[in-house]
Amino acid sequence: MLRSCAALLRTPGAPRGRPGAPRRSFSSEKVVQKDCALPNPSWSKDLRLLFDQFMKKCEDGSWKRLPSYKQFFSKTFQGFQTLYLDPSLVKGEEHAQLFTRSFEDGLGFEYVMFYNDAEKRVLCFLQVGPHLQGAPGFVHGGAIATMMDSTTGTCACRAGGIAMTANLNINFKRPIPLCSVVVIDSQLDKVEGRKLFVSCNVRSVDEKTLHSEASALFIKLDPDKSLRKKR
């Protein structure tokens, strides 16, 4: 059964702890991570419809659903750390969680992204939960910026390799009502050396409202240079 936004807010005694965090099977010590980019009971009809529609488009291979986890698998993290970071800069790794996946189901960001390699494009279907409020009844601008950064960042990394945001320029045009579903459409516009230029817009599901637009610059990380602490 789908739970509405209001129902979520009324839910008493929501489970404590770290929902969706890796579960350890003590018999095998194997870490099982929940894929957060799959439907859960908090997803609205709109989000489910978009998900189903694009899962169909994945059948011919043109689109690919991107799985999403609260924590990076240790291999990914260690690879990033070894190549790019001074280990002394990395603290609290054991408690680290992806920001956008650190809310209880339905309260924060509920989303799934799909990637089209031929078009170098990422679509993010996003349901904005009640704990993302900024102005009364509307989503906080920082929450919108977060998801624009994540979507354009995913587009940049998929198309060009590991990169970090150097610049994100947003125009907020119409506020996004809390608990609504929006579509973030991003694409790689240009590559110049290590620079990846990506743009995106946020629209309502019926495409009638343009909520926000952004252009972003990502810099592909250079292993020879690395992000080591500058002295």
Ligand X SMILES: CCCCCCCCCCCC(=O)SCCNC(=O)CCNC(=O)[C@H](O)C(C)(C)COP(=O)(O)OP(=O)(O)OC[C@H]1O[C@@H](n2cnc3c(N)ncnc32)[C@H](O)[C@@H]1OP(=O)(O)O
Question: Which residues form the catalytic set?
Answer: 149
Structure tokens at 79: 């690879």
Q: Which residues contact 79 (CB under 8 A, 6 or more apart)?
A: none
Task: Report how far residue 122's alpha carbon sits from residue 108's, in angstroms, rounded to the nearest whole number.
Answer: 21
Measured CA distances, 185 to 9, 33, 109, 155 (Å): 29, 27, 16, 10
To the nearest whole angstrom, how small is the minimum distance from the Cβ of residue 84 to ligand X?
A: 9
Count of residues that bind ligand X according to CB under 6 A: 19
153 binds ligand X (CB under 6 A): yes
Q: Which of 21, 55, 162, 191 touches ligand X (CB under 6 A)?
A: 162
Query: Could you say which DSSP state residue 107 is in?
Result: T
Give residue number: closest CB to ligand X.
153
Among 83, 96, 157, 191, binds ligand X (CB under 6 A): 157
> Residue 93 CA to chain centroid, in angstroms?
19
Paired with 200 in beta bridges are 186, 214
Give min distance, CB of 147 to ligand X, in A. Answer: 10
Of 27-35, 60-68, 163-171, 200-208, the window that binds ligand X (rule: CB under 6 A) is: 163-171
75 sits near ligand X (criterion: CB under 6 A)? no
| Whole-Å CA distances, 168 to 35, 146, 164, 199 | 28, 10, 11, 9
The minimum distance between CB 190 and ligand X, in angstroms, equals 13
- Angle (CA) 146-151-157 rounded to 5° is 120
Q: Is 78 in the site for ligand X (CB under 6 A)?
A: no
- Minimum CB distance to ligand X, residue 208 (Å): 28
Closest approach of ligand X to the CB of residue 222, in Å: 5
Residue 132 · residue 181 · CB < 8 Å:
no
C-alpha span between 129 and 126 (Å, rounded): 9
Contact between 149 and ligand X per CB under 6 A: yes
By CB under 6 A, is residue 201 in contact with ligand X? no
Which range touches ligand X (CB under 6 A), out of 31-39, 130-138, 157-165, 178-186?
A: 157-165
| Residue in 167, 173, 190, 210 binding ligand X, rule: CB under 6 A | 167
Site residues for ligand X per CB under 6 A: 80, 149-150, 153-154, 157, 162, 164-167, 193-195, 217, 219, 222, 225, 227
